[in-house]
Amino acid sequence: DAKTTQPTSMDCAEGRAANLPCNHSTISGNEYVYWYRQIHSQGPQYIIHGLKNNETNEMASLIITEDRKSSTLILPHATLRDTAVYYCIVRVAANFGNEKLTFGTGTRLTIIP
């Protein structure tokens, strides 16, 4: 699986949009970009994933560059409950039976009141 690079930490004011970048310059054509977050002392929570097109769900939006070498997770109106460590991961979605997500150290996002 391709490796990802994320900033170690970021701050964002409450109510503003939080934009979390991720570089995955060695991503393969069949690898998806996944985002998870982990609130302290809980298991990681799935947020969103995408292949080529931008994606949006009730939690966030995912913007993937045209060359797919980087992406940005957007939390449109950050709240204090969004304070967490955010992980960007790439994986082959159909890699059945050998599906191993490699989690790095992620970005620690702190929402400031």
Partner 1 sequence: SQTIHQWPATLVQPVGSPLSLECTVEGTSNPNLYWYRQAAGRGLQLLFYSVGIGQISSEVPQNLSASRPQDRQFILSSKKLLLSDSGFYLCASSRRNSPLHFGNGTRLTVT
Chain residues that interact with partner 1, rule: CB under 8 A? 34, 36, 41-46, 49, 87, 93-94, 96-97, 99-106
Q: Please answer whether residues 28 and 2 qualify as being in contact, where contact means their C-beta atoms are separated by less than 8 angstroms.
A: yes
User: DSSP assignment of 37-57, as one string?
Assistant: EE-TTS--EEEEEESSS-EE-
Q: Please answer whether residues 14 and 75 qualify as being in contact, where contact means their C-beta atoms are separated by less than 8 angstroms.
A: no
Report which residue type is found at 87.
Y
Q: Which is nearer to partner 1, 25 or 103 (CB)?
A: 103
Q: Which is nearer to partner 1, 42 or 53 (CB)?
A: 42
Q: Which is nearer to partner 1, 15 or 54 (CB)?
A: 54
Name the minimum Å distance from CB 60 to partner 1: 13
What is the rounded distance in angstroms from the CA atom of residue 20 to the CA atom of residue 9?
10
Name the minimum Å distance from CB 13 to partner 1: 25
Name the minimum Å distance from CB 93 to partner 1: 5
